[in-house]
Chains A and B, each alone.
Chain A
Amino acid sequence: MFVSTRATKRAGWRLLLASTNLVAMAHFLLSRLVSLGLSLAVASAVIFCAIEVIPGDPAAFMLGLNAEPEAVAALRHELGLEGGLLERYLAWIGGMLTGDFGVSYTYRVPVTELVVARLWVSLPLTLYAMMISTAIAIPVGLWAAARRGRAGDVAVMGVTQLGIAVPNFWFAMLLVLAFAIGLGWFSAGGFPGWEAGLFAGIKALTLPALALALPQASILARVMRSSVLETLGQDYIRTARAKGLSERQTVLRHAFRNALIPVMTILGLQFSFLLAGAIIIENVFFLPGLGRLIFQGITQRDLIVVESVTMLLVLSVIVVTFAVDLAYALVDPRLRRRA
């Protein structure tokens, strides 16, 4: 009898805890989703208005100085440039929601087609750079923290301080000078396409990814180092040491995992830096990615391309930030309750 009441009581408690947890999680998710939607709405409005401000009519620009007014009017109609601001904005948003980004003014093909082709360069490049940056930064930061104040730590701090100051496009040029022109290991630019094989594709993206990754790895390594140092000052680390764990076990088993939380936030932020950096780096290596597409769009007055690619970049950053927030809440229950 006694045993059973205790069991029911325990089960009841567990149920209550689980339900409050669920409610908190649902509340957190909902509030995040609302702010996600709001951000997207405002961002799209800002981008649309910015592009609308650009002086000059794309149709008149495309047809040149001697165009007949009727021809310009016909082209305006074809490009969907007629109608009020709000009408066109809604058409643009509605199209994007169904995957229709409109038709490029200069290429005369659907923007979606252009974007998807370029995405196969920009996205692998960004992810490749992120992998390199994480693979370098986390062990290096951990290593430096474990050697706090000693020669190794000082060296890491010095090198990363320098790494933060190096513009990635200049670093890219130095890599080309050393590994493409000097040693001849890589080509200095261009992309053979994934049809040429996985290896050829990865090889072509290696120098650009390195150029993108190393400055970011410097920041990440410093965050990792200070985060490990902070966890090393916690009570549970003292407990771990007191119960006789070796320094190595203490750091790897206890400090490492807790130190990863702030590193995760920075990783999420880095995605947007890397994506933006990729736009510049693609220009150094003549890679046919989203960055080249934006610049071509700007010079050719292909506003619909500029508009859509910018929106796509902003969308991916907002979604990644959302995902990081979510992952954060899953790892650290305290954050859920605070929200």
Chain B
Amino acid sequence: MKWPLSLCVGFLLFAFFAMAALLSFVWTPHDHAAMAIDARMQGPGPNHWLGTDHFGRDILSMVMVGARTSIAVAVIAVGIGILAGVPLGLLAAANRGGLVDEIVMRGNDLVFAFPSLVIAILITAVFGPSAVNAIIAIGIFNIPVFARVARGAALPLWTLDYVLAARVAGKGKLRISFEHVLTNIANILIVQGTIQFSLGVLAEAALSYVGLGAQPPTPSWGRMLADSQTMIALAPHMAIFPGLAIVFTVLGLNLVGDGLRDLLDPKLRRAR
């Protein structure tokens, strides 16, 4: 099977930042937290490839460690959404019109009425700013997304012959949901997971930009941008590189999502 171009480009982009994040565990060009006031706000050069910030810290090292924060927060938030949302959605589809279905659908309406960022701000304000609370805030909004997608994808499967055959064979709804339905909607869930992943990276950046994400000294892309804001006229490189890191990571993930959809859904591909 030939991989779509967007999948290849997106994968390369994302892999680049994922590798940087992994590499930062064992090696960064400089200590990301080491300050050197005499070398502050230097532009990109041979010693500091992406320059230094207002404390003389190496921006490349900070961007690498920041990748770790961004990706970890987004991955765990997506994990929360899948682990809690998918079973709910499957259950709702299996008992269409039942109590669970009703709760899932109404809960969905409610969560979509809240501007997600406002509530994320509220949650982090209530429990205090930290990476963990940012994860919870983003994760909570992923639950109804996955519940809705899983329910929508699972519903039509319940009328198909192989599910009917499984019922005739005496399998219960729960077993059918996980053995037959889940395996057949995995494609759709993977595509949705990629989309939520990229939204998670953006949300983490926004939260840490307003000071509600990972706290110092842990570097995060959003806070690097917030720090650079007052210095933007003097040291524009401080704002440009963390921003580019966010853009390319999100762009990579979006392209992977598009590519996977083309790859996994032949119907859609033909329609294009």
A interface list, Cβ under 8 A from B? 35, 38-39, 42-43, 47, 50-51, 53-54, 161-162, 164-167, 169-170, 173-174, 176-177, 181, 272-273, 275-277, 279-280, 283-284, 294-295, 298, 306, 310, 313-314, 317-318, 321
- Asked if B251 and A273 make an inter-chain contact with CB atoms under 8 angstroms apart, the answer reads no
Known: A51-B126, A162-B247, A165-B251. A173 touches B239 (CB 8 A): yes
Residue B168, interface by CB 8 Å = no
Residue B250, interface by CB 8 Å = yes
- From residue B146, how far is it (CB to closest CB) to chain A in Å? 19
- Asked if A39 and B110 make an inter-chain contact with CB atoms under 8 angstroms apart, the answer reads yes
Q: How far is the CA of A294 from the CA of B246 in the complex (A)?
A: 26
- Asked if B225 and A170 make an inter-chain contact with CB atoms under 8 angstroms apart, the answer reads yes
- Asked if B122 and A276 make an inter-chain contact with CB atoms under 8 angstroms apart, the answer reads no
B232 interface neighbour in A162, A176, A295, Cβ under 8 Å: A176
B interface list, Cβ under 8 A from A? 106, 109-110, 112-119, 121-123, 125-126, 198, 202, 205-206, 209-210, 222, 225, 228-229, 232-233, 236, 239, 243, 246-248, 250-251, 254-255
- From residue B269, how far is it (CB to closest CB) to chain A in Å? 14
- From residue A165, how far is it (CB to closest CB) to chain B in Å? 4
Q: How far is the CA of A62 from the CA of B67 in the complex (A)?
A: 39
A161 interface neighbour in B229, B239, B251, Cβ under 8 Å: B251
B125 interface neighbour in A279, A306, A313, A314, Cβ under 8 Å: A306
- Asked if A173 and B110 make an inter-chain contact with CB atoms under 8 angstroms apart, the answer reads no
Q: How far is the CA of A313 from the CA of B202 in the complex (A)?
A: 21
- Please name 9 pairs of A and B residues whose Cβ atoms are closer than 8 Å in the assembled complex, sorted by A: A50-B122, A164-B254, A169-B209, A177-B233, A280-B209, A295-B121, A306-B122, A318-B113, A321-B113
- From residue A228, how far is it (CB to closest CB) to chain B in Å? 14
Q: Which residues of A have CB within 8 Å of B198?
A: 165
- Asked if A173 and B232 make an inter-chain contact with CB atoms under 8 angstroms apart, the answer reads yes
Q: Which residues of B have CB within 8 Å of A273?
A: 115
- Asked if B122 and A39 make an inter-chain contact with CB atoms under 8 angstroms apart, the answer reads no
Q: Which residues of A have CB within 8 Å of B125?
A: 54, 298, 306
- From residue A269, how far is it (CB to closest CB) to chain B in Å? 8
Q: A294-B121, A317-B114 are in contact. List 16 more A-B contacts (CB 8 A).
A: A42-B110, A165-B248, A167-B209, A169-B209, A170-B225, A170-B239, A173-B228, A174-B243, A272-B115, A279-B121, A295-B121, A306-B122, A313-B118, A314-B114, A317-B115, A318-B113
- Asked if A50 and B126 make an inter-chain contact with CB atoms under 8 angstroms apart, the answer reads yes
B interface: dominant SS: helix
- From residue B43, how far is it (CB to closest CB) to chain A in Å? 15
- Asked if B117 and A276 make an inter-chain contact with CB atoms under 8 angstroms apart, the answer reads yes
Q: Which residues of A have CB within 8 Å of B117?
A: 276-277, 279-280
Closest to B114 in A: A314
Q: Which residues of A have CB within 8 Å of B115?
A: 272-273, 275-276, 313-314, 317
- From residue B41, how far is it (CB to closest CB) to chain A in Å? 15
Q: How far is the CA of A188 from the CA of B113 in the complex (A)?
A: 33
Q: How far is the CA of A174 from the CA of B206 in the complex (A)?
A: 16
Q: Which residues of B have CB within 8 Å of A298?
A: 121, 125
Q: Which residues of A have CB within 8 Å of B121?
A: 279, 294-295, 298
Q: How far is the CA of A317 from the CA of B118 in the complex (A)?
A: 11
Q: How far is the CA of A306 from the CA of B122 in the complex (A)?
A: 8
Q: How far is the CA of A283 from the CA of B250 in the complex (A)?
A: 23
Q: How far is the CA of A273 from the CA of B106 in the complex (A)?
A: 21
- Asked if A295 and B210 make an inter-chain contact with CB atoms under 8 angstroms apart, the answer reads yes
